[in-house]
A and B are shown apart, each in its own frame.
Chain A
């Protein structure tokens, strides 16, 4: 009786061991599958990461190419406008300041009415008069500006914090070869931009300006790079926004640019690490 019981217990134990072995084999197989899966996920993750990096690099390259192209076109347009901007024209403009203001206001009011779709509500006769006036104003501006329309030139601003120090970059449409000759339109633009840059520097008295570099590109872009000795007291993006807003505004504030019919449209970019 006792022997039989022992035999049964032994059989039971052997059965359980066989079960445990089976379960272990199953678990080992599962573990292997998970490991294989993990390796596959890791491989896919690496592939996705490198694809994302390649996309980001391509996006960055195409953004830089776009910035370079816009600045090059801006530099060419500025040069073209500068050729019409002779010293004689400058003197004439000085005398015609009232005419410029009046003509600018007429054009601005017309464009505002056009935007708000108010023109179509005007009686035909009055609309014709308004359109005649604005054509006259545009012609007067063209004549005063040496036969060209008012010009808006592009600028780009980026602010980055690297190694706990701020770098502010301003991309401008100025050819490297430009000497900023006395009385030239490019000089007026450079002076206005410099005032904005200096104002941006003064707006952050908590950090010192360490250097002012000027990187020029053969195609027609210039990048001013201001390096500071510490991190920005505001966020780097706020710093860039401040500079860009003032650059866009300076066309209205600078008497020289107003007279020259030149304004600046500045945009904030993540970086301005342009390649030649």
Chain B
């Protein structure tokens, strides 16, 4: 895993180091130490913001839904769930209610978002624990941050099981 300083990242992205730090915060990518995994750099090139609130509009336009295949839909919801959790900084031990991961999705996508969470857990990209014996809480696996950032930025899915689930359902 190659690490780059904020200064190097800024040069590669044609930004100032402060802009890099702000983009990291917007994407939920930790850079407290002043260094970054160079694989997350492509994700910093945009100003897409990861929202955590219930007001967000995560469903695509109706026309897009009509044209969307099941595989595209699973891919879209997967990216959105990962964007949301990483944007909230929910890398284990930081965690949130499982239902929060599905909050803000359109009615038809809520069930799929919860299935995505289960799939991520089964693939080891996410941890789950029972809070107070009842409420399930989830957090992303910190050691697989790079892999998660790649998926969020539209890169390939490295995990075979997750890729198979996206392709075949």
Chain A residues proximal to chain B, CB less than 8 Å? 172, 174, 176, 178-184, 187-188, 190-191, 193-195, 197-198, 201-203, 205-206, 208-214, 216, 222, 224, 256
Question: Using a Cβ cutoff of 8 Å, how many contacts connect chains A and B?
Answer: 88
Contact A210 to B31, CB < 8 A, known contacts A180-B6, A180-B21, A187-B6: no
Do A194 and B49 have beta carbons less than 8 Å apart? Answer: no
Complex CA–CA separation, A256 to B32 (angstroms): 9
Contact A181 to B7, CB < 8 A, known contacts A198-B26, A201-B26: yes
- Stretch of B10-18, B92-100, B111-119, B147-155 at the chain-chain interface: B10-18
**Measured between C-beta atoms, what is the minimum distance from B86 to chain A in Å?**
12
Do A201 and B49 have beta carbons less than 8 Å apart? Answer: yes
Contact A194 to B21, CB < 8 A, known contacts A209-B26, A216-B16: yes
Q: List 11 A-B contacts (CB under 8 A).
A: A176-B16, A181-B7, A182-B5, A182-B34, A184-B34, A187-B21, A194-B21, A195-B25, A202-B53, A212-B47, A213-B19
Chain A residues whose C-beta falls within 8 Å of the C-beta of B19 in the assembled complex: 212-214, 224
**Measured between C-beta atoms, what is the minimum distance from B108 to chain A in Å?**
20
**Measured between C-beta atoms, what is the minimum distance from B47 to chain A in Å?**
5
Interface majority SS (helix, strand, loop, mixed), chain A: mixed
Q: Tell me whether B105 is interfacial, beta carbon within 8 Å.
A: no
Cβ 8 A contact of A179, one of B5, B31, B47? B5
Q: Tell me whether B55 is interfacial, beta carbon within 8 Å.
A: yes
Do B18 and A224 have beta carbons less than 8 Å apart? Answer: yes
Q: Tell me whether B157 is interfacial, beta carbon within 8 Å.
A: no
Most buried by B among A190, A198, A201, A203: A198
Cβ 8 A contact of A197, one of B16, B25, B32, B55? B25
Do A191 and B7 have beta carbons less than 8 Å apart? Answer: no
Do B25 and A198 have beta carbons less than 8 Å apart? Answer: yes
Do A212 and B52 have beta carbons less than 8 Å apart? Answer: no
Complex CA–CA separation, A183 to B57 (angstroms): 38
Q: Tell me whether B140 is interfacial, beta carbon within 8 Å.
A: no
Q: Tell me whether B24 is interfacial, beta carbon within 8 Å.
A: yes
**Measured between C-beta atoms, what is the minimum distance from A156 to chain B in Å?**
15
Chain B residues whose C-beta falls within 8 Å of the C-beta of A202 in the assembled complex: 49-53, 87
Contact A182 to B15, CB < 8 A, known contacts A187-B6, A206-B55, A212-B23: no
Contact A205 to B6, CB < 8 A, known contacts A182-B34, A212-B23: no
Cβ 8 A contact of A205, one of B18, B25, B55? B55
* Nearest CB in chain A to that of B6: its residue: A180
Q: Which of B26-82 contact A (CB under 8 A)?
A: 26, 31-35, 47, 49-53, 55-57
Complex CA–CA separation, A201 to B25 (angstroms): 10
Do B17 and A190 have beta carbons less than 8 Å apart? Answer: yes
Cβ 8 A contact of A191, one of B5, B15, B32, B53? B32
**Measured between C-beta atoms, what is the minimum distance from B17 to chain A in Å?**
4
Chain B residues whose C-beta falls within 8 Å of the C-beta of A183 in the assembled complex: 33-34
Chain B residues whose C-beta falls within 8 Å of the C-beta of A256 in the assembled complex: 32
**Measured between C-beta atoms, what is the minimum distance from A254 to chain B in Å?**
9
Chain B residues whose C-beta falls within 8 Å of the C-beta of A195 in the assembled complex: 25
Q: Tell me whether B22 is interfacial, beta carbon within 8 Å.
A: yes
Complex CA–CA separation, A205 to B103 (angstroms): 14
Cβ 8 A contact of A214, one of B5, B18, B55, B56? B18
Closest 4 CB pairs of A and B: A182-B34, A198-B25, A194-B25, A180-B17
**Measured between C-beta atoms, what is the minimum distance from A188 to chain B in Å?**
8
Contact A191 to B47, CB < 8 A, known contacts A184-B34, A202-B52: no
Most buried by B among A172, A174, A191, A256: A191
**Beyond A180-B18, A224-B18, 4 extra complex contacts between A and B, CB < 8 Å:** A180-B6, A181-B6, A208-B49, A222-B18
**Measured between C-beta atoms, what is the minimum distance from B136 to chain A in Å?**
24
Do A179 and B18 have beta carbons less than 8 Å apart? Answer: no
Do A205 and B26 have beta carbons less than 8 Å apart? Answer: no
* Nearest CB in chain A to that of B5: its residue: A182
Chain B residues whose C-beta falls within 8 Å of the C-beta of A205 in the assembled complex: 51, 53, 55-57
**Measured between C-beta atoms, what is the minimum distance from A111 to chain B in Å?**
30
